[in-house]
Amino acid sequence: MRILFSSIPQHGHLLPLFPLARAFQERGHEVAVLTAAGMAPVVAAQGLELRAAGPMPDALFAEVARRTGADPASAPTPDSVAEFFAGTRVDLTVDEAFAVTEDFRPDLVVSEAGDFVGPLVAARTGAPVATLMFGPPFPPVFTEAMEGRARAQHEARDLPWQPRKWLLDTWPASMRADEWQQPDGWLPLRPEAFRVPAEAGTKLAMSARPRVLVTFGTWFGDPAKLSPLLRELSTVDADVVVTLGLAAKPEEFDVDRERVAFVGFTPMEDLLDGVNAVVTHGGAGTTLAALMKGVPLVVLPQGADQFFQAERVAAASAGIALDPPSQTPEALVAAVRTVLQDATFRNNTTAIAEEIAAMPDANEVAAMMEAGL
């Protein structure tokens, strides 16, 4: 079979697709990834073929701002989120996506939850669609706005709207909201911390002191915002390790270099061993990686879907969430000390890690999907 994986060009959306893409490839299928050319090095490192289409996020955000004046990253609303994912990105990507997949003609399209280009490609050939959820379910008001805009995109191109065949769910069941109902085609899929196949990785040296990992992903790690938090955090009797994301440099942070260590973009699989607490913006990939390793979190959501993850972490007592305007240096230190000292958080995340480990892995889910096609 030919299987197309489709994603917006952001790490947090693209990386969760890779375990299933590798599983299908290892099972002998022809696999390609549809996303922007700027993600080529990330896709190539996975040994996967890229079908490049559309611009990178900076151009998408600029166009959304031009069209609406909104910023769906820092101040997400149903309308601005729908415009970004199902409006602007589709408009600036889909024609090129049609062109680069013309000779591929997929038998199955797997899209992450924010991607509405892949389903349009699928609609041209009648291929079934699977949607991969990389975090907790979005509130209905957001999903309804995005689906409404996506339906209009299909109608404008005279392409049928196809209900998805599968919903691949990487979120642990115990952390869902009480009102959640299992949708048609639901398949649980064990999440995996991001790794690069055939790469040895760089493990952090072990230490006798507790270790706190601070990671605000590839997009939200503003040195000016993080520096006051890191200065206060360095007063805790712990080793503080900070990821730099894709653009920041250590010299841009106003901190005590003897108390704070920086690491470049590193797969989460290589960062979490020996970590006692994770301080994060609450990106779904980071949140799930910490949970699958049984590490408590302190979540400071900055925008996008991070408030959804933060609320679920707090509800499960898997960590502490600090929403604005409570994200002060003093509040951060108090929260970190609490999750380091209160065994309840470690016990809860250990139980969640065991739950995640029992979920079907990518190879098992690939086999189930093969049987259903």
Q: What is the pLDDT of residue 206?
A: 61
Instruction: Specify which residues 47 forms β-bridges with.
Output: none
Verify that 140 and 281 share a domain, yes or no: no
Verify that 18 and 141 share a domain, yes or no: yes
Instruction: Specify which residues 243 forms β-bridges with.
Output: 263
Query: Where are any strands of DSSP class E within the chain?
Result: 2-6, 30-35, 49-52, 108-112, 129-133, 166-169, 186-188, 211-215, 239-243, 260-263, 277-280, 297-299, 319-321
Q: What is the pLDDT of residue 153?
A: 98
Verify that 238 and 138 share a domain, yes or no: no
Instruction: Report yes or no on 370 lying in a domain.
Output: no
Verify that 217 and 127 share a domain, yes or no: no
Instruction: Report yes or no on 179 lying in a domain.
Output: no
Number of Cβ within 10 Å of residue 16's Cβ equals 25
Verify that 14 and 154 share a domain, yes or no: yes
Q: Which residues contact 182 (CB under 8 A, 6 or more apart)?
A: none
Long-range CB contact pairs, 169-174, < 8 A, 24+: 169/133, 170/16, 170/132, 170/133, 170/134, 170/135, 170/288, 170/359, 171/133, 171/135, 171/136, 171/137, 171/288, 171/312, 172/291, 172/352, 172/355, 172/356, 172/359, 173/355, 174/316, 174/351, 174/352, 174/355
* 71, 80 contact by CB (below 8 A): yes
Distance CA 1, CA 131 (A): 18
- The residue out of 102, 137, 164 marking a domain boundary is 164
Instruction: Report yes or no on 217 lying in a domain.
Output: yes
Verify that 147 and 17 share a domain, yes or no: yes
Verify that 130 and 253 share a domain, yes or no: no
Verify that 95 and 31 share a domain, yes or no: yes
Verify that 18 and 151 share a domain, yes or no: yes
Put the strands of the sheet holding 239-243 in their side by side order.
260-263, 239-243, 211-215, 277-280, 297-299, 319-321
What does the pLDDT profile of the chain (373 residues) look like in tens digits? 999 999 999 998 999 999 999 999 999 999 999 999 999 999 999 999 999 999 999 999 999 999 999 888 878 899 999 999 999 999 999 999 999 999 999 999 999 999 999 999 999 999 999 999 998 888 889 999 999 999 999 999 999 998 999 999 999 999 987 777 888 899 999 999 887 876 555 566 666 789 999 988 766 667 878 888 989 988 898 899 988 866 678 788 878 777 888 887 777 878 888 899 999 999 888 999 999 999 999 999 987 788 889 999 999 999 999 998 899 999 999 999 999 999 999 999 999 999 999 999 999 999 999 999 8
Per the structure, the count of domains in the chain is 2
Q: What is the pLDDT of residue 160?
A: 96
Verify that 13 and 142 share a domain, yes or no: yes
Residue 23: CATH number of its domain: 3.40.50.2000
Verify that 147 and 243 share a domain, yes or no: no
Instruction: Report yes or no on 147 lying in a domain.
Output: yes
Instruction: Report yes or no on 276 lying in a domain.
Output: yes
Q: Residue 338, exposed/middle/buried by CB under 10 A (0-12, 13-18, 19+)?
A: middle
Instruction: Report yes or no on 281 lying in a domain.
Output: yes
From residue 294, how far is each of 15, 112, 213, 216, 352 by CA, in Å?
20, 25, 14, 19, 7
Instruction: Specify which residues 186 forms β-bridges with.
Output: 167
pTM of the model as a whole: 0.91
Q: What is the pLDDT of residue 226?
A: 85
Q: Tokens standing for 315?
A: 């509800």
* 196, 46 contact by CB (below 8 A): yes
Instruction: Report yes or no on 139 lying in a domain.
Output: yes
Instruction: Report yes or no on 206 lying in a domain.
Output: no
Domain that holds residue 109: 2-164
Verify that 120 and 227 share a domain, yes or no: no
Instruction: Specify which residues 109 forms β-bridges with.
Output: 4, 129
